[in-house]
Structures are given as C-alpha cells and as structure tokens.
Chain A
Amino acid sequence: GEDVEQSLFLSVREGDSSVINCTYTDSSSTYLYWYKQEPGAGLQLLTYIFSNMDMKQDQRLTVLLNKKDKHLSLRIADTQTGDSAIYFCAESTSGTYKYIFGTGTRLKVLA
C-alpha cells in the first residue's frame, strides 16, 4: 500500500538551515503537504506543492519535490527556537478521500 516515510529526529543550531526529508510511494500523488505540530496543539498546514511543480518558496520555507525519486523536502532558513516542533509530510491523490501522513520528524532547535 501507499506509504510516507520520514526520519524521526533532527537537531539544528539556531540560525542554521534545517532540511526535513520525506519519501513517498504513491506515484499518483497529486498534492504533497507539510504540516507543523507544536506541543499541545493540532497540526497546522504550513505549505503544499502540486505534483507538477519542482519547487515552492514561501518566506523562510522552501519545498523541493523530486517526482522521479518520490522525494520531498522542507528547508527552513534561519531556523529559530520557535520552529521546534514535529513536522509531518502528507500526500493526497486527487479525486480520493485518502490522505497519507508520514510519522513526523521532531525538529529540535538548539540556542
């Protein structure tokens, strides 16, 4: 079946760039998403990319999509302590209800 995989932990120093990676198996994926979950809160949609795009930039966030390798990444420039959270990758296929989430990557930003 479809699967979305992420590494569980990432630690970076404040001011450095963070890169969170995700791989997925469903070649019919239409949209790919990044969500952020802060402690005690629900998931918040950060950004998404349509499958026919290679890159999307939104302020400090850059999403890169390699459709051939089914690899998605989220780069956070100038990482701040407020970026410490769990980041979830997710994919959906147009016309279906299905939304597959990764296991989440816990980002820890060291001051």
Chain B
Amino acid sequence: DADVTQTPRNRITKTGKRIMLECSQTKGHDRMYWYRQDPGLGLQLIYYSFDVKDINKGEISDGYSVSRQAQAKFSLSLESAIPNQTALYFCATSEGADLGYTFGSGTRLTVV
C-alpha cells in the first residue's frame, strides 16, 4: 500500500456542488498538507495541519475547508465548487518541514 493515499484519483463535478477529497497516511507523521497544482504555477499551499487540533490556512484557502479526523486522515472540501478550482490536488505529509515531504498520487478534479 502507498504511504499516502488519496481518493478519488479523478473526479468531475458540477459547479455549485460540494465535494470532498480524502487523504490517509501510514507514515505516522503529524504534519499533513493540501496543495493545489496548476500548469506553470507550481504548487500552492491550501491548508496545513501540525496535529489533529492544529489546522492553519495556507496561501489560497478561500473556497476550501479541511478536517483532520485523526492523525492519519486529512480531508479537503470544496463547499461550492467553481470552474477555476479545476486542478490537480496533492496531499503530503512530513515529519518536520526540513525533512522533505511524502506526496500522494494526486486527485485530478474537474469542475464543469
């Protein structure tokens, strides 16, 4: 099994719908992150969590919310999806920021 598992891998949804992307990890890391990748823009941080009770906004949190259900689970929700949220979404974990990240395989989300 992968260290960081994201579901679903691909999703097409309609404008205005609520959607949840899920992430689970077996690394035992406290830190978890959600990033968004757009072509030519690199990765942008949406939310990050250092433990179950510590959740913080990243650079582009508007329109998104998160839930840290357990040390191993961190989900990202789009409350009312819009087309410019079409992107590749990555979950990542780390033991500490200096030690590098372990990434999931990504969720490709298309909002039509």
What residues make up the interface of A, taking CB atoms closer than 8 Å to B? 4, 8, 30-31, 33, 40-45, 48, 88, 92, 94, 96-99, 101-104
Taking a contact as CB atoms closer than 8 A, the residue among A42, A44, A88, A92 that contacts B97 in the complex is A92
Q: Please tell me if the beta carbons of A43 and B98 are within 8 angstroms of each other in the complex.
A: no
Q: Please tell me if the beta carbons of B42 and A97 are within 8 angstroms of each other in the complex.
A: no
Min CB–CB distance B28 → chain A (angstroms): 17
Nearest A residue (CB) for B106: A42
Min CB–CB distance A52 → chain B (angstroms): 13
What residues make up the interface of B, taking CB atoms closer than 8 Å to A? 4, 31, 40-43, 45, 48, 50, 56, 90, 92, 97-98, 100-106
Nearest A residue (CB) for B94: A99
Q: How far is the CA of A97 from the CA of B48 in the complex (A)?
A: 9
Q: How far is the CA of A48 from the CA of B100 in the complex (A)?
A: 8
What residues of chain A lie closer than 8 Å to B48, measured between beta carbons? 97
Q: Please tell me if the beta carbons of B101 and A99 are within 8 angstroms of each other in the complex.
A: yes
Q: How far is the CA of A45 from the CA of B101 in the complex (A)?
A: 7
Min CB–CB distance B50 → chain A (angstroms): 7
Interface hub of A31, A40, A42 (most chain B Cβ within 10 A): A42
15 contacts between A and B (CB under 8 A): A42-B92, A42-B105, A43-B103, A45-B100, A45-B102, A88-B43, A92-B98, A96-B97, A97-B31, A97-B48, A97-B97, A99-B97, A101-B42, A101-B43, A103-B40
Query: Given contacts A98-B97, A99-B101, are A42 and B4 in contact (CB under 8 A)?
Result: yes
What residues of chain A lie closer than 8 Å to B50, measured between beta carbons? 97
Q: How far is the CA of A28 from the CA of B60 in the complex (A)?
A: 23
Q: How far is the CA of A102 from the CA of B40 in the complex (A)?
A: 9
